[in-house]
Amino acid sequence: MAAVEFRPKKIRLVAGISAVFLVVVFTVVGLLLGDTPTGVIFRASDQIAMICLGVLLACGVLLLTRPRVRADAEGVEVRNVVTAHRFAWTDVLHVSFPDGASWARLELPDDEYVSIMAVQAVDRDHAVAAVRALRELHRAATDRPL
């Protein structure tokens, strides 16, 4: 089987829309800050800071689009929001998607596991295809049953 790569689908759309919304709202608020009847004086630096805060929050939301899983015959690379790990298939016991879980995971020795945030339950058929492909690569590399 050839190498595969999966990324979440719905969260990318939601995060993109949310990021644009945050930048627009903070820009509008920042621009309107200079003219308030409360007696508080907002300077241009305060307005710029408000816009920059919106951009920073949008960047934080866009981190949710970062998860990815890549797998080939030798192993699997899991990149989540902040961390990235590469595992040889011989180090992976199972690829699982527990009932009620938000995302799939790699079962490792000693009751450890690594979440695969790129394979999310909300993506339904996409998640099923991803888990099947990962399991097939795992089975081919280790000759172990699921």
For the cut 80, the answer to whether the pLDDT of residue 61 exceeds it is yes
- Whether residues 73 and 132 share a domain: the answer is yes
- Whether residues 132 and 113 share a domain: the answer is yes
The better pLDDT of the pair 145, 39 is held by 39
**Using one digit for the tens of pLDDT, what is the confidence trace for 86-127?**
999 999 999 999 999 999 999 999 999 999 999 999 999 999
Which CATH number belongs to the domain containing residue 132 in this structure? 2.30.29.30
Query: How many structural domains are present in the chain?
Result: 2
Model's pTM, two decimal places?
Answer: 0.84
Q: What is the pLDDT, as a whole number, of residue 1?
A: 65
Contact in structure between 91 and 85 (CB atoms under 8 Å): no
- 5, part of any domain: no
Quote the CA–CA distance of 29 and 125 in Å, as a whole number. 40
Amino acid, res. 82: V
Q: What is the pLDDT, as a whole number, of residue 48?
A: 94
Q: What is the pLDDT, as a whole number, of residue 43?
A: 86
- Whether residues 75 and 55 share a domain: the answer is no
In this structure, of 1-5, 50-54, 64-68, 128-132, the range with the lowest mean pLDDT score is 1-5
Last residue of a domain, one of 64, 91, 107: 64
- Whether residues 93 and 134 share a domain: the answer is yes
Q: What is the pLDDT, as a whole number, of residue 87?
A: 97
Exposed / middle / buried, residue 71 (Cβ in 10 Å: 0-12, 13-18, 19+): buried
Q: What is the pLDDT, as a whole number, of residue 143?
A: 82
The better pLDDT of the pair 50, 40 is held by 50
For the cut 60, the answer to whether the pLDDT of residue 146 exceeds it is no
Domain residues for the domain of 14 are 10-64
- 3, part of any domain: no
Exposed / middle / buried, residue 146 (Cβ in 10 Å: 0-12, 13-18, 19+): exposed
Strand partners, 71: 4, 76
Strand partners, 104: 116
The mean pLDDT value of the chain amounts to 93
Q: Classify each residue of 104-138 as buried b or exposed e, where b means 16 or more C-beta atoms within 10 Å of its C-beta.
A: bbbeeeeeeebbbbbbbeebeebbeebbebbbebb
